[in-house]
Amino acid sequence: MNDDALVFQGGTLVSMDPERRVLEADLRVEHGRIAAIGRGLPTDNATLVDARGLHVVPGFIQGHTHLGQAIFRGLAEDRELLTWLRERIWPLEAAHDAASAYWSSMLGGADCLLSGTTTIQDIGLVRHMDDVLRAVVDLGLRAVAGKCLMDEGYGVPAGLVEPADAALAEARALHSAWHGAADGRITTLLCPRFILSCSTELWRGVVALAHELGLPVHTHLLEHPSEEDEVRARLGMGQLEYLDSLGVLDTQLSVAHGVQFDARHRDCLAGRALGIVHCPSANLKLGSGIADLVALSATPGVTVGIGCDGAACNNDMDVLEEVRLSALLQGVKNGPGRWRAEQSFALATIEGARLLGLADKIGSLEVGKAADLVVLDLERPASFGPAGVAVYDRIVYSAARDQVRRVYVAGRERVRDGVVLGVEPEALRRRPAEEIRRLLPRAALG
Ligand SMILES: [Zn+2]
């Protein structure tokens, strides 16, 4: 817990509160939480942050990441989803050891922080999950994370296949060890990878464990059309229908992608809650398509968030770029004017928090919530806005990560002017490169 009080003075607060207030006000932080918002707040015993001319916004939330893939950037190009996994990503992930998992996660987590991301939902690795979580703690991120669960599948290397009961036992042990760690910044969940790498037995075990421990479930779903084709050939039904038959839709479920979600899926969902994490860069790069955010957002029960996915399909973890793409692509998908910049900004803030079930703690600037904050400098030529231009338009269409001046998680400063604090910059440059050099011979890519 960080006990230092802070007062952000003179900035413009983009609150994302229920009234969506944008206000000229100070913001006081005590014990890692937002203690007061208003003009002329007391500054006793507080460190002052001069926010004049700057915008203070909620810390960004990425609903789908793979920190364990950060050191694979550039090693899996020019493939669509299933060959990308089988020929590159799975062999690379199977070759991880503790050190490579840790330094990949440090690299990916730093990339997230530098664009203003304060919370991630990470779908994890099959092995070395303790090392991924150690990196999250060392960086100071907030995370919902779990071990990636896989127990079968065409093209899955032996190193990633575990018996369902062993995989679930390790997920249970991770929950015991990590849930609520780092002053509550880390919580756990269950992460079956996707239908083509998980047996019916594993899905049933996930549902039982989710109910027993009260855990959310996160997976990949309806990403590329080929995924649905393979599932239908193997199981004789569609992906959502299959998960429904196993009770997965009755857990607190969020899925990455949902590109292929259509009216049939809406009928199958029947109003039950489902989080869908939009990952536009990954969907474009792997040729999966463009999710219809207008339709998804209008679907009863669906909450939409946003994420970068992994650096091997993106190729970076810049949430501001995803937010911008999410808005631009809806112009192509639905025509200009059907989707507003404010909605894209919400994906990375309050809607992202709702998707994670954390809307009472993060996602907006409101008294009592965690002091997860980003200080943005919009007073640059790139994001100039005449009086009257909505701040959401300036941020979503114009802001880039070099305009992120400071990032705070639970009131502790984690980024200042493009530098991740508390991490040795030389180590962050050198160690990931060393680890991927050692890992590649172990992966023996074809
Ligand atoms: Zn993913």
For residue 192, give every residue at least 6 positions away whose Cβ sits within 8 Å of its Cβ, in sequence order, or none. Answer: 149, 150, 198, 202, 203, 206, 217, 219
Quote the ligand 1 centre to 425 CA distance (angstroms): 27
Quote the ligand 1 centre to 247 CA distance (angstroms): 22
Q: Over the stretch 385-400, which tens digit does the pLDDT of each residue have? A: 999 999 999 999 999 9
Q: Quick check: 96 and 104 in contact, CB under 8 A?
A: yes
Quote the ligand 1 centre to 66 CA distance (angstroms): 6
Quote the ligand 1 centre to 244 CA distance (angstroms): 21
Q: Quick check: 107 and 69 in contact, CB under 8 A?
A: no
Quote the ligand 1 centre to 256 CA distance (angstroms): 6
- The residues with which 87 forms a beta bridge, in sequence order, are none
Tell me which CATH homologous superfamily contains domain 5-58+364-420: Urease, subunit C, domain 1 (2.30.40.10)
Residue 145, token pair as written in the block: 């994370």
Quote the ligand 1 centre to 122 CA distance (angstroms): 9
Quote the ligand 1 centre to 123 CA distance (angstroms): 7
Quote the ligand 1 centre to 4 CA distance (angstroms): 37
Q: Is 325 helix (H, G, I), strand (E, B) or coil?
A: helix
Quote the ligand 1 centre to 64 CA distance (angstroms): 6
Helix (H) or strand (E) holding 9: strand 5-14
Quote the ligand 1 centre to 285 CA distance (angstroms): 13
pLDDT for residue 217: 98
**CATH code matching the domain that covers 60-355, chosen among 3.40.1190.20, 1.40.20.10, 3.20.20.140, 3.40.50.10800:** 3.20.20.140
pLDDT in tens, the chain (446 residues): 456 899 999 999 999 999 999 999 999 999 999 999 999 999 999 999 999 999 999 999 999 999 999 999 999 999 999 999 999 999 999 999 999 999 999 999 999 999 999 999 999 999 999 999 999 999 999 999 999 999 999 999 999 999 999 999 999 999 999 999 999 999 999 999 999 999 999 999 999 999 999 999 999 999 999 999 999 999 999 999 999 999 999 999 999 999 999 999 999 999 999 999 999 999 999 999 999 999 999 999 999 999 999 999 999 999 999 999 999 999 999 999 999 999 999 999 999 999 999 999 999 999 999 999 999 999 999 899 999 999 999 999 999 999 999 999 999 999 999 999 999 999 999 999 999 999 999 998 87
Quote the ligand 1 centre to 282 CA distance (angstroms): 8
Quote the ligand 1 centre to 327 CA distance (angstroms): 21
Quote the ligand 1 centre to 215 CA distance (angstroms): 19
Quote the ligand 1 centre to 84 CA distance (angstroms): 12
Quote the ligand 1 centre to 209 CA distance (angstroms): 22
Quote the ligand 1 centre to 54 CA distance (angstroms): 34
Considering the chain, tell me which residue range(s) the CATH 2.30.40.10 domain(s) occupy: 5-58+364-420
pLDDT for residue 445: 85
Quote the ligand 1 centre to 218 CA distance (angstroms): 10
Helices (H), 1-80: none
Quote the ligand 1 centre to 336 CA distance (angstroms): 28
pLDDT for residue 192: 98
Which residue shows structure tokens 């899996």? 76
Quote the ligand 1 centre to 29 CA distance (angstroms): 34
Quote the ligand 1 centre to 373 CA distance (angstroms): 26
pLDDT for residue 44: 92
pLDDT for residue 2: 53
Looking only at Cα atoms, what is the longest distance across the chain?
Answer: 66
Quote the ligand 1 centre to 37 CA distance (angstroms): 37
Quote the ligand 1 centre to 49 CA distance (angstroms): 37
Quote the ligand 1 centre to 108 CA distance (angstroms): 14
Quote the ligand 1 centre to 379 CA distance (angstroms): 34
Quote the ligand 1 centre to 367 CA distance (angstroms): 33
Quote the ligand 1 centre to 191 CA distance (angstroms): 11
Quote the ligand 1 centre to 114 CA distance (angstroms): 20
Percentage helix, strand, coil for the chain under 3-state DSSP, each rounded to 5? 40, 20, 35
* DSSP secondary structure of 218-272: EEEES-SHHHHHHHHHHHSS-HHHHHHHTTGGGS-EEEEE-TT--HHHHHHHTT-
Quote the ligand 1 centre to 187 CA distance (angstroms): 19
Quote the ligand 1 centre to 148 CA distance (angstroms): 11
Quote the ligand 1 centre to 310 CA distance (angstroms): 6
pLDDT for residue 4: 83
Could you give the CA distance from residue 348 to residue 126 in angstroms, rounded to a whole number? 27
Quote the ligand 1 centre to 385 CA distance (angstroms): 35
Considering the chain, tell me which residue range(s) the CATH 3.20.20.140 domain(s) occupy: 60-355
Neighbour-count burial for 79-115, b at 16+ CB within 10 Å, e otherwise: bebbebbbebbbbbbbbbeeebbbbbbbbbbbbbbbb
